[in-house]
Amino acid sequence: MKLQSRSPETPRTDERAAVAALELASISYNYGQRKALDDVSFSIEPARFTVLLGLNGAGKTTLFSLVSHLFSPRTGRIRVFGQDIDRNSGQALRRLGIVFQARTLDLDLTVRQNLLYHAALHGIGTRVARQRIDELLHAIDLTDRIEEKVRGLSGGQVRRVEIIRALLHRPSLLLLDEATVGLDIKSRATILKDIRALVERDGISVLWATHLIDEVGQADQVLVLDKGKLVADGPVATILSSTGTETINQAFSKLTGITDMNVRGGRP
Ligand SMILES: Nc1ncnc2c1ncn2[C@@H]1O[C@H](COP(=O)(O)OP(=O)(O)OP(=O)(O)O)[C@@H](O)[C@H]1O
């Protein structure tokens, strides 16, 4: 069920003027015989915080791997700010920053070394890189750890370094895959607050993948993915009214058929 349906006669003037930050059209993906994504279509608005909500195995990581061009879909089309990920992959990927679920920093390098290395891979000169690293460390409150080896940081601090790394080339769209998984409540709240500030302050578009319903804010756009299918797409209020529910927790249960699973802070 797609909740944000729009009749053909509804005016689309605003949408024609604004290019979607991310647009997926009829994306399907199989691992052998297993269907991981089934005809998924949606678009997300620029400068919005959009939550991609789905249980483990729903297809969130597969979707991120397709958007970041690690995998190629056999069907459909993906555009980042209007740039087709297959035809103009360089331009599309330049606008994209990604924090994957798996941790990929070099544990034996310092925070600064990791960040400078990544900046060099993106062709950012050392002087500019140092300046951006300092700005981001300050914004994300990690300045005092810059000369420390990553091995010595907490899980939450490692995540924040990964977020800084994903922002170094100044992407317009940031994708985060279960960025708070395994972290304590305080670290989760800090990271979520920092990412929401990026949207408010800098106008960055964010796609935040999670299975934790309490990370959804009342003003967010929400995509609900269930067993590879998009089952809801819209603002929280629209999803509640379309499902006849009062909370996003109830709406999610109704849409996915789950009843008593813990999706409020632990792994379901
Ligand atoms: N490399 C793979 N080979 C075969 N099947 C896979 C592979 N990766 C994922 N899958 C399957 O594809 C489906 C979607 O998995 P995916 O990892 O995209 O979901 P997810 O929502 O990110 O879940 P999680 O939060 O647990 O990572 C699942 O059924 C999963 O078992």
Residue 6 lies in a domain: no
Residue 185 lies in a domain: yes
Average pLDDT (113-123) is 93
**Per-residue pLDDT at 124 exceeds 60:** yes
What's the pLDDT score for residue 181? Answer: 87
| 67/200 same-domain check | yes
| 131/264 same-domain check | no
Average pLDDT (34-57) is 95
**Per-residue pLDDT at 233 exceeds 80:** yes
83 CB less than 6 Å from ligand 1? Answer: no
Instruction: Please identify, among 155, 170, 185, the residue that sits at the C-terminal boundary of a domain.
Output: 170
| 153/34 same-domain check | no
Cβ proximity of 259 and 5 under 8 Å: no
Instruction: Please identify, among 124, 150, 170, the residue that sits at the C-terminal boundary of a domain.
Output: 170
Residue 121 lies in a domain: yes
| 194/70 same-domain check | yes
Reported as a single tens digit per residue, the pLDDT across 193-220 is 989 998 998 999 999 999 999 999 988 9
Structural domain span for residue 155: 103-170
62 CB less than 6 Å from ligand 1? Answer: yes
What's the pLDDT score for residue 219? Answer: 85
| 113/163 same-domain check | yes
| 178/166 same-domain check | no
Cβ proximity of 109 and 152 under 8 Å: no
36 CB less than 6 Å from ligand 1? Answer: yes
Q: What confidence tier does 265 reach under pLDDT thresholds 50, 70, 90?
A: very low
How many Cβ atoms are within 10 Å of 182's Cβ, its own excluded?
13
Nearest CA to ligand 1 atom 7: 31
* Residue partners of 85: CB distance under 8 A and separation at least 6: 66, 67, 69, 78, 79, 92, 93
234 CB less than 6 Å from ligand 1? Answer: no
Average pLDDT (110-117) is 95
Euclidean distance between CA atoms 19 and 82, whole angstroms: 6
Reported as a single tens digit per residue, the pLDDT across 53-103 is 999 899 999 999 999 988 886 789 999 999 999 999 999 999 999 999 888
Span from the CA of 18 to the centroid of ligand 1 (angstroms): 33
| 88/176 same-domain check | yes
Residue 116 lies in a domain: yes
| 181/233 same-domain check | yes
| 70/145 same-domain check | no
**Per-residue pLDDT at 4 exceeds 80:** no
Dig out the tokens for 237 from the structure: 């209020």
Residue 8 lies in a domain: no
Euclidean distance between CA atoms 116 and 161, whole angstroms: 12
| 23/62 same-domain check | yes
| 194/73 same-domain check | yes
Residue 11 lies in a domain: no
How many domains are contained in the chain?
Answer: 2
56 CB less than 6 Å from ligand 1? Answer: yes
Nearest CA to ligand 1 atom 31: 57
For the whole model, what pTM was predicted? 0.87
60 CB less than 6 Å from ligand 1? Answer: yes
**Per-residue pLDDT at 128 exceeds 50:** yes
Residue 240 lies in a domain: yes
Q: What is the number of the ligand 1 atom nearest to the C-alpha of 55?
A: 21
What's the pLDDT score for residue 141? Answer: 81
61 CB less than 6 Å from ligand 1? Answer: yes
145 residue type, one letter: R
Instruction: Please identify, among 114, 138, 170, the residue that sits at the C-terminal boundary of a domain.
Output: 170
Residue 7 lies in a domain: no
Q: Please report, for the domain that includes residue 34, its CATH number.
A: 3.40.50.300
Q: Please report, for the domain that includes residue 107, its CATH number.
A: 1.10.8
| 88/190 same-domain check | yes
